[in-house]
């Protein structure tokens, strides 16, 4: 069957778009929704208690209430984005157009726009929407159709003027906050959802942009394409009156649920009338915060669900433990789109690129000038030998930080984007990591090449240029893997930066720079097996001080250096294998950490 639907100015068929476009705006109702954390019935464990309400077909509904009232929790429970199981208990009944649903099963049909705009800063709104549509619409949707859908959506969201400017974020200048929010909405809407949920869509926007944002949601819902439900903090009266319905929560209970114009009547009838010329939303928010729950019960301010409308429990959570995304696009399509985005990110974030190579050149020039000719002096003299070793040490340490630091600083910024996209089934973990590695390899190689071009002849290293370059390239990749794991595990750049010394400084202790391995207490020596710097240093020491490169007359010093750090020349390949294992091992653990996080992200 072909279903004809309107998409902005264009008319497309369900078959052409490839999505089940018979999904039109739907009515979502819920009854007796309770959500608790901790042992059932335990004190203070209840977050939502017997909540009821509905978001009627083609309407705009807001969930409001004081901070901690349970707005986001209710939205997440309705969206199936909070996992039942473990210490979380969710019960109640949810229906879509009268049919009971399990939100865990239904969640893919609900577009969910998170509070923070997790969009790639180097993408343009057009690219962000095209990326989402290409990976989330059904396979076989033609490029032409996707272009049409994206163009229409940009037009509808008022983004045509900035469609080809970068979204921006961090140090990258981009479109305004309101435009970014609309882009986030568009990224979800291109999948043609019948229910759209937004968590605090106006947060961080000025009064005008907040009004514009809600106007847009109103336009979307009243067009009949979708039903919109969002949480909101303290709306102005202009914003409040744009909503069709409001649900007011306090302490996880419903104070009011119904048409916005009925809220005033509810407060009037309970003895707390809205004064003239007062925003009813402000009055409601102030009133529920100054009256305690016992008094609210007494005066009937908490709305009890009409007994005739109470539905028996239709789900009790499936104890699925989290979201298991279903990816629509093929592996190659995912990889191609991710690679394209990585490429754009690399080329467009010029500051990051200049910083990375600029710092590498500056530091290595400094080492080169300080240790000038250190490799050509008489290594049989202890002082000269240690200058030579010191030069190798400094260059190696800078290799490690040079590769790890940019990754560590960039990854926490990309993490929320991954979590959003992975949890909505945009792509799976494998193409994501492959696309990252594909760009990291040439970048890390180029960085090592620049480094050794600067220092090799200035310091007069004795080992083979190519081998020294390859060893520090391997170190760069392995160190970046540790940074990826840290970036996967922590939520923000600040925490990542604070953790940097904890992870990398101990590596220097085990690498034999300051204390030889045989001096480290045996019960701590195991830690060296996790240190990429240690194994890279083993390889680099063999290349620079091993049999082939050691100066005549300095053989004893070279041998003592290798022996004291337990470096065996014929085991160089073992050290290379350990570096490869660390490279893969840390990345696999990082991927696992991220996917676990994505299943419980809400």
Single out the residue of 21, 55, 69, 539 in contact with ligand ATP (rule: CB under 6 A). 69
Single out the residue of 20, 42, 68, 553 in contact with ligand ATP (rule: CB under 6 A). 68
Which residue's CB is nearer to ligand ATP, number 73 or number 448?
Answer: 73
Taking CB under 6 A as the binding criterion, the range among 61-69, 331-339, 458-466, 508-516 that sits at the site for ligand ATP is 61-69
Which residue's CB is nearer to ligand ATP, number 69 or number 154?
Answer: 69
Interface with ligand ATP, residue 71, by CB under 6 A: yes
Cα 190 from Cα 212, distance rounded (Å): 20
Interface with ligand ATP, residue 322, by CB under 6 A: no
Cβ 49 to ligand ATP, closest distance in Å? Answer: 12
Taking CB under 6 A as the binding criterion, the range among 63-71, 287-295, 519-527, 554-562 that sits at the site for ligand ATP is 63-71
Find where tokens 């240029």 sit.
465
In contact, 528 and 510? CB cutoff 8 Å: yes
Interface with ligand ATP, residue 47, by CB under 6 A: yes
Cα 482 from Cα 117, distance rounded (Å): 27
Interface with ligand ATP, residue 4, by CB under 6 A: no
Which residue's CB is nearer to ligand ATP, number 191 or number 231?
Answer: 231
Could you tell me which of 329, 420, 343, 545 has the C-alpha nearest to residue 113?
A: 420
Cα 415 from Cα 493, distance rounded (Å): 10
Taking CB under 6 A as the binding criterion, the range among 62-70, 389-397, 406-414, 557-565 that sits at the site for ligand ATP is 62-70
Cβ 171 to ligand ATP, closest distance in Å? Answer: 28
Which residue's CB is nearer to ligand ATP, number 68 or number 553?
Answer: 68
Single out the residue of 2, 4, 67, 308 in contact with ligand ATP (rule: CB under 6 A). 67
Which residue's CB is nearer to ligand ATP, number 81 or number 356?
Answer: 81
Interface with ligand ATP, residue 89, by CB under 6 A: no
User: What is the sign of the dihedral through the CA atoms of 502, 506, 508 and 511?
Assistant: negative
Which residue's CB is nearer to ligand ATP, number 63 or number 189?
Answer: 63
Cα 39 from Cα 32, distance rounded (Å): 19
Cβ 596 to ligand ATP, closest distance in Å? Answer: 15
Which residue's CB is nearer to ligand ATP, number 71 or number 225?
Answer: 71
Which residue's CB is nearer to ligand ATP, number 67 or number 308?
Answer: 67
Half-sphere exposure of 286 (CA within 13 A, CB side): 10
Interface with ligand ATP, residue 86, by CB under 6 A: no
Cα 268 from Cα 360, distance rounded (Å): 69
Q: At what angle do helices 125-136 and 331-348 cross, to 10 degrees?
A: 170
Number of residues engaging ligand ATP in binding (CB under 6 A): 11
Interface with ligand ATP, residue 34, by CB under 6 A: no
Cα 167 from Cα 417, distance rounded (Å): 13
Single out the residue of 70, 345, 487, 512 in contact with ligand ATP (rule: CB under 6 A). 70
In contact, 205 and 172? CB cutoff 8 Å: no
Cα 23 from Cα 19, distance rounded (Å): 9
Cα 200 from Cα 213, distance rounded (Å): 11
Interface with ligand ATP, residue 37, by CB under 6 A: yes
Site for ligand ATP in 226-245 (CB under 6 A): 233
Which residue's CB is nearer to ligand ATP, number 289 or number 330?
Answer: 289
In contact, 228 and 196? CB cutoff 8 Å: yes
Interface with ligand ATP, residue 73, by CB under 6 A: yes
Cβ 67 to ligand ATP, closest distance in Å? Answer: 3
CA 281 to chain centre: 33
Cα 34 from Cα 428, distance rounded (Å): 32
Interface with ligand ATP, residue 85, by CB under 6 A: no
Taking CB under 6 A as the binding criterion, the range among 18-26, 67-75, 442-450, 467-475 that sits at the site for ligand ATP is 67-75
Which residue's CB is nearer to ligand ATP, number 73 or number 414?
Answer: 73
The runs of H, that is alpha helices, within 424-531 are: 429-459, 465-489, 493-510
Which residue's CB is nearer to ligand ATP, number 18 or number 257?
Answer: 257
Which residue's CB is nearer to ligand ATP, number 190 or number 246?
Answer: 246
Cβ 389 to ligand ATP, closest distance in Å? Answer: 52
Under DSSP, the state recorded for 315 is: B
Cα 167 from Cα 77, distance rounded (Å): 30
Single out the residue of 8, 53, 65, 168 in contact with ligand ATP (rule: CB under 6 A). 65
Which residue's CB is nearer to ligand ATP, number 2 or number 67?
Answer: 67
CA 521 to chain centre: 40
Dump the DSSP string for 399-444: HHHHHHHHHHHHHHHHHHHHHHHHHTTS--HHHHHHHHHHHHHHHH
Cα 65 from Cα 575, distance rounded (Å): 59
Interface with ligand ATP, residue 203, by CB under 6 A: no
Taking CB under 6 A as the binding criterion, the range among 69-77, 261-269, 482-490, 534-542 that sits at the site for ligand ATP is 69-77
Cα 5 from Cα 19, distance rounded (Å): 11
Cα 114 from Cα 107, distance rounded (Å): 14
What does residue 472 show for φ and ψ, rounded to 5 degrees?
A: -75, -25
Cβ 180 to ligand ATP, closest distance in Å? Answer: 20
Cα 185 from Cα 190, distance rounded (Å): 9
Taking CB under 6 A as the binding criterion, the range among 71-79, 147-155, 344-352, 590-598 that sits at the site for ligand ATP is 71-79
Cα 437 from Cα 444, distance rounded (Å): 10
Q: Please report, as ranges, the residues that interact with ligand ATP according to CB under 6 A.
A: 37, 47, 65, 67-73, 233
């Amino acid at each position: 069957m072909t279903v004809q639907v309107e998409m902005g100015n264009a008319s497309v068929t369900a078959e052409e778009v490839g999505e089940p476009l018979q999904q039109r705006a739907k009515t979502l109702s819920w009854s007796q929704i309770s959500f608790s954390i901790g042992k059932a019935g335990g004190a203070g464990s209840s977050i939502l208690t017997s909540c009821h309400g509905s978001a009627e077909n083609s309407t705009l509904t807001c969930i409001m209430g004081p901070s901690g009232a349970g707005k986001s929790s209710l939205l997440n429970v309705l969206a199936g984005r909070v996992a039942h199981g473990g210490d979380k208990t969710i019960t109640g009944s949810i229906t879509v157009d009268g049919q009971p649903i399990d939100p865990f099963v239904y969640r893919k049909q609900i577009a969910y726009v998170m509070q923070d705009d997790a969009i790639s800063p180097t993408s343009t709104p057009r690219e962000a929407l095209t990326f989402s549509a290409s990976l989330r619409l059904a396979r076989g949707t033609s490029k032409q159709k996707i272009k049409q859908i994206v163009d229409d959506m940009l037009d509808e969201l008022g983004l045509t003027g900035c469609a080809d400017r970068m979204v921006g974020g961090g140090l990258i200048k981009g479109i305004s906050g309101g435009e970014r929010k609309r882009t986030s909405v568009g990224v979800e809407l291109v999948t043609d959802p019948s229910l759209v949920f937004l968590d605090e869509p106006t947060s961080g926007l000025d009064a005008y942009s907040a009004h514009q944002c809600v106007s847009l949601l109103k336009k979307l819902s009243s067009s009949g394409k979708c039903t919109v439900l969002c949480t909101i903090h303290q709306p102005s009266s202009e914003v409040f009156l744009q909503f069709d319905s409001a649900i007011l929560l306090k302490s996880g209970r419903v104070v009011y649920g119904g048409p916005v114009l009925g809220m005033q009547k509810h407060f009037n009838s309970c003895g707390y009338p809205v004064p003239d010329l007062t925003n009813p939303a402000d009055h409601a928010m102030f009133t529920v915060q100054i009256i305690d729950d016992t008094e609210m019960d007494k005066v009937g301010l908490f709305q009890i669900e009409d007994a005739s409308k109470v539905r028996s429990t239709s789900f009790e959570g499936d104890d699925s433990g989290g979201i298991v995304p279903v990816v629509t696009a093929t592996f190659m399509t995912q990889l191609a789109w991710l690679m394209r985005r990585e490429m754009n990110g690399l080329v467009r974030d010029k500051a990051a690129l200049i910083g990375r190579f600029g710092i590498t050149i500056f530091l290595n020039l400094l080492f080169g000038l300080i240790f000038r000719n250190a490799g050509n002096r008489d290594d049989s003299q202890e002082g000269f030998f240690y200058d030579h070793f010191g030069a190798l040490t400094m260059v190696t340490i800078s290799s490690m930080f040079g590769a790890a630091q940019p990754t560590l600083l960039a990854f926490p910024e990309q993490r929320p984007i991954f979590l959003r996209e992975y949890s909505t089934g945009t792509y799976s973990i494998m193409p994501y990591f492959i696309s990252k590695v594909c760009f990291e390899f040439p970048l890390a190689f180029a960085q090592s090449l620049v480094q050794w071009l600067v220092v090799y002849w200035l310091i007069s290293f004795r080992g083979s240029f190519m081998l020294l370059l390859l060893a520090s390239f391997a170190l760069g990749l392995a160190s970046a893997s540790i940074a990826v794991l840290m970036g996967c595990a922590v939520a923000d750049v600040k925490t990542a930066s604070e953790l940097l010394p904890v992870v990398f400084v101990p590596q220097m202790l085990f690498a034999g720079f300051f204390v030889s391995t045989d001096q480290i207490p045996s019960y701590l020596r195991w830690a060296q097996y996790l240190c990429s710097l240690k194994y890279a240093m083993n390889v680099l020491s063999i290349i620079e001080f091993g049999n082939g490169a050691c100066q005549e007359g300095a053989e004893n010093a070279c041998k003592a250096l290798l022996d004291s750090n337990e470096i065996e020349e014929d085991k160089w390949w073992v050290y290379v294998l350990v570096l490869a294992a660390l490279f893969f091992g840390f990345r696999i653990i990082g991927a696992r950490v991220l996917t676990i996080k994505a299943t419980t992200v809400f």
